Amino acid sequence: MNDTSEKVTPSILDRSRIVLAHGGGGQLTDQLISEVILPRLGNETLNELDDAAILNGNIAMTIDSYVVDPWQFPGGDIGKLAVCGTVNDLSVSGAKPLGIALSLILTEGFAKRDLETILDSIGESAAEADVKIVTGDTKVIPGSGIFITTAGVGLRDPAVKLASRYIRPGDKIIINRPIAEHGLTVMLAREMPDMQSVLKTDASPLNGLIDLLLKQVPGEDVRFLRDATRSGIAGVTTDIATNTGYHVMLHEPDIPVDAHVQHAADMLGLDVLEVANEGVVVAVVSPDVADQAVAVMRQHPYGRQACVIGEVQNNRDGICEITTMIGGHRIVHKPYGEQLPRIC
Amino acid sequence: MNDTSEKVTPSILDRSRIVLAHGGGGQLTDQLISEVILPRLGNETLNELDDAAILNGNIAMTIDSYVVDPWQFPGGDIGKLAVCGTVNDLSVSGAKPLGIALSLILTEGFAKRDLETILDSIGESAAEADVKIVTGDTKVIPGSGIFITTAGVGLRDPAVKLASRYIRPGDKIIINRPIAEHGLTVMLAREMPDMQSVLKTDASPLNGLIDLLLKQVPGEDVRFLRDATRSGIAGVTTDIATNTGYHVMLHEPDIPVDAHVQHAADMLGLDVLEVANEGVVVAVVSPDVADQAVAVMRQHPYGRQACVIGEVQNNRDGICEITTMIGGHRIVHKPYGEQLPRIC
């Protein structure tokens, strides 16, 4: 009955205990899911490990907890993240958001005006995404900060077919905008709170952009969508390689990175491919519609810098590779733990 | 950008800060919802403040965070609570559970075997309730313990009409089993962890019992269902009085309380009416079917001690009153904050 877990800061190599990196969305998170969670709770739906589960043929459901530290950062806060993350998880599964459930875990002493700021931000993001908060819960614990869990329910047209199993060799990989802005913004806000930085989170609801894409590009030619959050572009593209068994080739010179973001990453020794985004969608589309898909995305404010960043190739090695700026090649690995804890 | 909320343990009277009691499900929680949350996020669906929101006519959605301390106690743990609570919230809204989304916030150093115990318990409770965990998320933060948020989606027969607005004078108030077991079990486990207590949580999925009731008792005669969790029977019956505007009369000698539970409550100075339950449903039914509803509940393992505990009367004062053991009368108030923090 005693809590044997109190007050231990374990080594990342202590396999008997949870470490921060288990929440990083990388290999360690995958291990926890496959070794501890799925053997106990696995079923046909959960085993898909998609951003959203599909129930009863057309009801999409998703959930995510947000523990970002600090809760506020340039361009947004934990409330905006929670709404955008849930809307985006529904959208990349091809569903239109129907409602969001909001559960707050507050800490004793948290300032009400800070809660108000966060709720205002939730309201603004929900209004932008045209979705309502339909139910909620509030709990209070000792400690500091705020933790938010949002669940989303949406409806999916049963005709929509988006999954990594539809990906074919030759398909192009597209993203909608420059990468790595969210993670580096939070990192700078945390480590250098007094510094004015020019970075700003990219957190944004992508349902409008994705809706446009799915309406204007012929159905079956959009194979797969995923928002590149924890573990970044590298997480998504290595998952594509692993799950399809094909070779994924990225082209570094084509991947848009803002110069300030690149400087911040270089300074901190971080790989922009692995840094979390909150407004970047990775789309895999058939080669015939790649130009059209890019053009459609560019019509939308959140897709002005859309471009092709790579392709799926026919070698069946399940590896993700990148041609670098200077023409070399390197293998892209799924991040092990986390570069940056508590980034979302 | 700085977190102004760190490391302050505020007085319950400091109106600028969150206190533990804001999470107690009593008057302070109601205030937070009506003064801070609804003005920012309110809409037709959220404003109902029901256990579950109804979307698109027949999709029920609910969410709850669980922060119970300790995470394990006689008869159950935080995992069982999370599944039962979500199943029950769907059930009292008249919906059949379709899937549960599970979000874990773990703390650094939490023992993996404890997580395994909790996941096993989630699996067992979900199997008993015949519902699957369909999607999830995992985050890790510094600190100690574990916080679980579960969201549920269910389908409701559009013919089912359960809401406090259907309650009429003369209606009977029924509960399925003895009260106050969960809250006192957790309290003893927290305050006297080395003592063997005979108390045991009542946490249980009530969908089977409620299903039976709604099948066997004519549709419109079951007016309203609510599980009596935080703030206990008093919370539900005072809400019924407030929301309908009628007088609610409870009859203390009829309310089943286990003798050990009553002793524990007396010892701790707690009112059993205000203590949290996790397996008690309050049903309001028309007087014509009250005996039948009790008989139906008694067919089910979780309803063996079902009985009528009071009625709705015609005075339009919105007050809840109780006739006591010794024949006196007292007003029942909605608990202000919490008797017992972190009980679920």
Token readout for B93 is 């809204």
Instruction: Select the residue of B2, B110, B342 nearest A5 (Cβ to Cβ).
Output: B110
pLDDT for res A4? 45
CB contact under 8 A, B111 and A32: no
* Distance of residue B314 Cα from the nearest chain A Cα, in angstroms: 32
Residue A298: which of A312, A287, A283 has the closest Cα?
A283
CB contact under 8 A, B5 and A114: yes
pLDDT for res B219? 80
Contact (CB, 8 A) for A245 and A318: yes
Interface test mutation site (partner A, options B7, B61, B118, max chain A beta carbons within 10 A): B61
Continuous segment of H or E residues that includes residue A73: strand A72-73
Give the Cα separation of A300 and A279 in Å (integer): 13
pLDDT for res B1? 41
Residues sharing a CB contact under 8 Å with residue B21, sequence separation 6 or more, in sequence order: A140, B12, B28, B29, B336, B337, B338, B341
Query: Is residue B207 over pLDDT 80?
Result: yes
**pLDDT tens profile B324-336:** 999 999 999 999 8
Q: Tokens 């053997």, residue?
A: A39
Can you give the pTM of this predicted structure?
A: 0.95
Question: pLDDT per position in chain A (344 positions), as tens?
Answer: 444 444 557 777 788 999 999 998 899 999 999 999 999 999 999 999 988 999 999 999 999 999 999 999 999 999 999 999 999 999 999 999 999 999 999 999 999 999 999 999 999 999 999 999 999 999 999 999 999 999 999 999 988 899 999 999 999 999 999 999 999 999 999 988 888 789 999 999 999 999 999 999 988 999 999 999 999 999 999 999 999 999 999 999 999 999 999 999 999 899 999 999 999 999 999 999 999 999 999 999 999 999 999 999 999 999 999 999 999 999 999 998 767 789 99
Bridge pairing between strands B307-313 and B247-251: antiparallel
> Exposure string (b/e) for B85-116, b if CB count within 10 Å is 16 or more?
bbbbbbbbbbbbbbbbbbbbbbbbbbbbebbe
The ranges of chain A annotated as CATH 3.30.1330.10 are 50-156
Interface test mutation site (partner A, options B100, B107, B108, max chain A beta carbons within 10 A): B108
Chain A positions touching B115 (Cβ under 8 A) are 18, 36
CB contact under 8 A, B70 and A341: no
Which residue from B minimizes the CA distance to A24? B139
CB contact under 8 A, A32 and B138: yes
Query: Is residue B339 over pLDDT 80?
Result: no
pLDDT for res A5? 44
Interface test mutation site (partner B, options A12, A13, A19, A40, max chain B beta carbons within 10 A): A40
Size of interface A-B (CB pairs under 8 A): 314
Token readout for B145 is 């313990």
* Distance of residue B281 Cα from the nearest chain A Cα, in angstroms: 19
Residues sharing a CB contact under 8 Å with residue B82, sequence separation 6 or more, in sequence order: B64, B66, B102, B122, B148, B149, B150
When pLDDT is averaged across residues B122-140 and rounded to a whole number, the result is 98
Chain B positions touching A135 (Cβ under 8 A) are 45-46, 50, 52-53, 61-63
Give B7's pLDDT tier (boundaries 50, 70, 90).
Answer: low
Q: How far is CA B168 from CA B161, B241, B248, B260, in A?
A: 14, 11, 11, 36
pLDDT for res B8? 57
Which residue from B minimizes the CA distance to A31? B138
Give the Cα separation of B327 and B340 in Å (integer): 29
Average pLDDT score, chain B: 94
Query: Is residue B2 over pLDDT 50?
Result: no
Which residue from B minimizes the CA distance to A122? B41
When pLDDT is averaged across residues B126-130 and rounded to a whole number, the result is 98
When pLDDT is averaged across residues B122-139 and rounded to a whole number, the result is 98
Architecture of domain A164-331: Alpha-Beta Complex (3.90)
Instruction: Select the residue of A5, A140, A193 nearest B1 (Cβ to Cβ).
Output: A193
When pLDDT is averaged across residues B39-46 and rounded to a whole number, the result is 97
Residues sharing a CB contact under 8 Å with residue B194, sequence separation 6 or more, in sequence order: none
| ipTM (interface pTM) | 0.95
Query: Is residue B6 over pLDDT 60?
Result: no
Nearest 5°: CA angle at A22, between A16 and A25?
Answer: 155
Give B5's pLDDT tier (boundaries 50, 70, 90).
Answer: very low
**pLDDT tens profile B159-177:** 889 999 999 999 999 999 9
* Distance of residue B16 Cα from the nearest chain A Cα, in angstroms: 5
pLDDT for res A8? 57
CATH number of A50-156: 3.30.1330.10
- Three-state SS for B159? coil
**By mean pLDDT, which of A47-56, B206-215, B294-303 is the weakest?**
A47-56
Give the Cα separation of A282 and A329 in Å (integer): 21
Give B246's pLDDT tier (boundaries 50, 70, 90).
Answer: very high
Instruction: Select the residue of A45, A61, A106 nearest B18 (Cβ to Cβ).
Output: A106
**A258 phi and psi angles, rounded to 5 deg:** -60, 140
Amino acid at A40: R
Instruction: Select the residue of A1, A50, A101 nearest B62 (Cβ to Cβ).
Output: A101
* Distance of residue B326 Cα from the nearest chain A Cα, in angstroms: 37
